[in-house]
Structure 1
């Protein structure tokens, strides 16, 4: 979470440099890639919210079951799945927006 905030602050503080290249024919790709990566970081935040919301719904369903050992293993499984998806949100967002 902190890494994403630092990345967002870094992207917005350095915004004038790549945006200035948008009007240049040779360097226009730099500005376009910057805009794509900026949208990808914002979309990554949305994906993180969706993953956490799905996780919360899945965990609520486990908590009401009668088997405590099964509930623990189910919680561990869903937590591992959540961690995996949180690490993949960055690459998914970059693939959707074509940012590199």
Structure 2
């Protein structure tokens, strides 16, 4: 059953206090083996992540121990972005 979540995503610890709050409909999605291979791949695209980690993630996705939360974004409820001229605040409802 879909739920209507609100989610706050914080920026990296890069000296800014960037964040965004979004709303939408979320569902747990179990991708096929082919979709998992497209998303995760067999090798790490980032040298900081060892290949064995990618293999473990792939295996857990296929076995159902990990899943994807798919969100159909309805609105950006509020945000503070470091490069934006104006912050989006509750009531602005940027979509």
- TM-score bucket of the superposed structures, by smaller chain: under 0.3
Q: More helix by proportion, 1 or 2?
A: 1
TM-score of the aligned structures, taking structure 2 as reference length: 0.24
Q: More strand by proportion, 1 or 2?
A: 2
Structure showing greater Rg: 1
TM-score of the aligned structures, taking structure 1 as reference length: 0.24
